[in-house]
């Protein structure tokens, strides 16, 4: 069975994505660069709206990819400018950054750890692993009940609209990728059941409305 490639990082410009791809290529880490950009810019502003480039790795390589990036970040820290914005962060802000390390680049995470160490508040490897475990636990919790979203889904599904079908499909199938590479459903089991019902109702009523329009 061929192992699936999962999104590791997203970028809104191709150069940044390509740079990360080249970095992994140097490390002999297999990756995929995927362009998920919208083919049409509804804003007509040509400002990068809808641009999305993803670097994907195999789940088993997520830890290795993060390790390579952290190692590279350690080397870059020695070249930091004196006015780098992270230097003005309080201890509390640095701890919060480390706790949400999946939302920051490896350079900033490594620098935050270095700054805390210099301030006499070093975060041990054991504490970092605990923080990561707690972070994954928090991110694994399903989103709060999508009551309004579900009501709109039922209403639009009954009228045979594609919006209802989309809402049902989204509630039922939408997943997110955790920092460790695991893929989980975003919504609770109850909301996913509602999504399945909306999807079925939307499909039935769409057929009914189409037959009505055709036979009218």
**Is 156:164 a contact under the CB 8 Å cutoff?**
yes
Tokens of 161: 């609209």
What is the pLDDT at residue 45?
41
Q: Is 216 helix (H, G, I), strand (E, B) or coil?
A: coil
Query: Along the 216 residues of the chain, how does pLDDT read in single tens digits?
Result: 556 888 888 888 888 889 999 999 999 999 999 887 754 444 334 444 467 889 999 988 988 988 888 888 877 777 777 888 898 999 999 988 988 888 888 888 888 988 998 888 888 888 888 888 888 899 999 999 999 999 999 999 988 778 899 999 999 999 988 888 888 999 999 999 999 999 999 999 988 888 877 876
Nearest-angstrom CA–CA distance, 163 and 89? 44
What is the pLDDT at residue 103?
84
Task: Provide DSSP, 136-176.
Answer: HHHHTSPBPP-HHHHHHHHHHHHTT-HHHHHHHHHHHH-EE
- pLDDT tens digits, one per residue of 133-175: 888 899 999 999 999 999 999 999 988 778 899 999 999 999 9
Nearest-angstrom CA–CA distance, 99 and 199? 38
DSSP3 helix / strand / coil % (the chain, rounded to 5): 60, 10, 30
What is the pLDDT at residue 1?
53
Per the listing, tokens 């475990």 go with 133
Q: Which residues contact 55 (CB under 8 A, 6 or more apart)?
A: 7, 8, 9, 11, 17, 20, 21, 24, 31, 32, 33, 34
Entry pTM: 0.64
Q: Which residues contact 60 (CB under 8 A, 6 or more apart)?
A: 3, 181
Nearest-angstrom CA–CA distance, 216 and 212? 6
CB-based burial label for 137 (10 Å; 0-12, 13-18, 19+): exposed
């Amino acid at each position: 069975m061929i192992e699936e490639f999962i999104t590791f990082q997203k970028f809104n410009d191709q150069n940044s994505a390509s740079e990360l791809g080249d970095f992994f290529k140097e490390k002999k880490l297999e990756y995929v660069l995927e362009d998920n950009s919208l083919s049409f810019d509804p804003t007509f502003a040509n400002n990068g709206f809808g641009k999305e480039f993803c670097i994907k790795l195999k789940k088993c390589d997520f830890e290795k990819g993060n390790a390579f990036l952290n190692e590279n970040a350690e080397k870059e820290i020695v070249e930091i400018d004196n006015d780098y914005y992270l230097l003005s962060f309080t201890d509390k802000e640095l701890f919060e950054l480390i706790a949400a390390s999946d939302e920051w680049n490896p350079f900033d995470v490594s620098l935050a750890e270095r700054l805390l160490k210099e301030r006499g508040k070093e975060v041990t490897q054991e504490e970092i692993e605990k923080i990561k475990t707690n972070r994954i636990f928090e991110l694994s919790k399903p989103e709060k009940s999508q009551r309004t979203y579900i009501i709109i889904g039922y209403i639009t599904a009954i009228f045979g609209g594609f919006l209802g079908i989309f809402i049902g499909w989204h509630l039922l199938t939408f997943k997110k990728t955790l920092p460790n590479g695991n893929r989980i459903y975003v919504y609770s089991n109850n909301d996913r059941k509602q999504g399945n019902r909306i999807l079925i109702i939307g499909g039935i009523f769409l057929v009914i409305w189409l037959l009505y329009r055709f036979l009218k």
